[in-house]
Homo-oligomer: A and B are copies of this chain.
């Protein structure tokens, strides 16, 4: 593991951070690398090897572009670079934003060999990826995630899409990137609230399938909150390894991949009821994970450990006030519905998740407060 040795000289530290590591998402002829390192965005990694044609469109937002757009250009050699800046925030993860990108591609005369590059967080990555999936029925796509949430979760696995007033990510496509370039130094500019939101997905990876990683997080959460580079690098690396492994196993979410949605059925309902963007995705998932753990019927000690780690990360451990009918309606629209039967990701124990439509209905009613009315 990549702990920073106590008292190690800065020179050693810099040398370690300048290196990068690569994780491969194994999907046959659509396999791709996740390249992780600090400072990669300053030209330390040549992205043109993943591009076919001579031009690209960088999709970013008004917050990220001023910070990193010029730096990203250093990784693109002599390619013709177009760029577009979306407004910031989940509220803009819409068909309207999608159309803005598609219009730009069409108006610039982009061909089948163009490349769409997402520079930003999960919202930018999801919209840009969906645009790449739709334009001419699919063009090349590269993810350059700059938030913790995007680095540990949304940039890997090929899920792209936009929200619909009736449901989050209701419109989208599976479209794998050609590469994911993670420069962990971008996390230095990340607001604390977004850092914490990203930690929710990091905690999720431990909770669903790696109890050792979960224990490491319990030990190192304060370092992560202080943005200590080596701790962040390890959290990103281990999260990407877990996600890459699960995705390689079940790309289209026919089965096991759904465990990555731990906490998300409740979480999406929170986001929907509160209005997208009021609660950050990670905050909603954090509270949702506690609810899912409670519904799992596992031992209290495991639920307490999960709740404590989420609290240590400065994330909410309980949902906002939502009436029971709204809960059920909001969850009924969740994508995990099949044959009108709700499916949940529950825990056999901390570190061991599974997907099931067998759960205690009475307990579910208690958890969403149906008995309190």
Min distance, Cβ A361 to any Cβ of chain B, angstroms: 19
In whole angstroms, what is the CA distance A170 to B59 when docked? 19
Please judge, given known A-B contacts A138-B173, A170-B136, whether A338 and B106 are in contact too, CB under 8 Å: no
A171 adjacent to B134 (CB under 8 Å): yes
Contact of A161 among B137, B166, B174, B332 (CB under 8 A): B137
**In the assembled complex, A314 has its CB within 8 A of some CB on chain B:** no
Chain B contacts of A173 at CB under 8 A? Answer: 133-134, 137-138, 173
Q: Contacts A134-B173, A173-B138; is A99 near B106 (CB within 8 Å)? A: no
- Chain B residues with CB under 8 Å of A340's CB are 54, 111
The answer to whether residues A164 and B102 also contact, given A54-B339, A109-B333, A137-B172 and a CB cut-off of 8 A, is: yes
B109 touches A170 (CB 8 A): no
CB <8 Å contact, B135 and A339: no
Residue A107, interface by CB 8 Å: yes
The answer on a CB contact under 8 Å between B106 and A164 is: yes
Is there a chain B Cβ closer than 8 Å to A113's Cβ?
yes
Neighbouring B residues of A174 by C-beta, 8 Å: 137-138
CA of A339 to CA of B51, assembled, Å: 12
Given contacts A106-B166, A134-B172, A166-B106, contact A113 B333 (CB under 8 A): no
Min CB distance, A31 to chain B, in Å?
A: 17
Q: Can you name the residue of chain B whose Cβ is closest to the Cβ of A337?
A: B111
Task: Confirm or deny: A351 has a beta carbon within 8 angstroms of a beta carbon on chain B.
Answer: no
In the bound complex, residues from chain B placing their C-beta under 8 Å from that of A166 are 103, 106-107, 109
Which A108-167 residues have C-beta < 8 A from chain B? 109, 111-113, 133-138, 159, 161, 164-167
CB distance from A103 to the nearest CB of B (A): 8
Q: How far is the CB of A368 from chain B (nearest CB, A)?
A: 19
Residues on B with C-beta less than 8 A from A333 are 106, 109
A301: shortest Cβ distance to chain B, in Å? 35
CA distance A107 to B164 in the complex (A): 10
Q: Does A297 contact B (CB under 8 A)?
A: no
Q: Is B106 touching A167 in the complex (CB atoms < 8 A)?
A: yes
Smallest beta-carbon distance A130→chain B, Å: 8
Contact: A171 with B135, CB < 8 Å? Answer: yes
CA A95 to CA B165, docked complex, whole Å: 17
Q: Please name the 8 residue pairs, one residue from A and one from B, whose CB atoms are nearest each other, closest first.
A: A106-B166, A111-B337, A137-B172, A134-B171, A106-B164, A136-B335, A113-B338, A106-B170
